[in-house]
């Protein structure tokens, strides 16, 4: 049977839950602090910008973006 990515992650979650059930209180405190640290490093959700918003932002640009990209690619070789 082939496992999907979802199955893999659920398997890890179940293993972690079982391990947590066997931890002492002092160990749980450490795990809790580690989870807080992970949450701080996780990037916040950024709202998707619509195509219309991008057009509004770029229409006042005096440069030609496609030419800038081509020039940059040539410089990189």
Residue 58 neighbours by CB under 8 Å, 6+ apart: 65
| pLDDT value of position 28 | 94
Model confidence, pTM: 0.44
Domain locations in the chain? 5-76
Q: Of the given ranges (1-15, 17-31, 41-55), which has the lowest mean pLDDT?
A: 1-15
- The whole-angstrom separation of Cα 18 and Cα 13 is 9
pLDDT in tens, 54-77: 888 777 777 777 788 888 888 887
34-55 mean pLDDT: 82
């Amino acid at each position: 049977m082939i496992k999907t990515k979802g199955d893999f992650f659920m398997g890890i979650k179940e293993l972690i839950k079982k391990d947590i059930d066997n931890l002492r209180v002092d160990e749980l405190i450490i795990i809790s602090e580690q989870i807080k640290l992970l949450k701080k490093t996780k990037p916040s959700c950024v709202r998707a910008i619509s195509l219309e918003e991008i057009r509004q932002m770029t229409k006042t640009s005096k440069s030609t973006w496609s030419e800038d990209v081509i020039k940059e690619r040539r410089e990189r070789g």
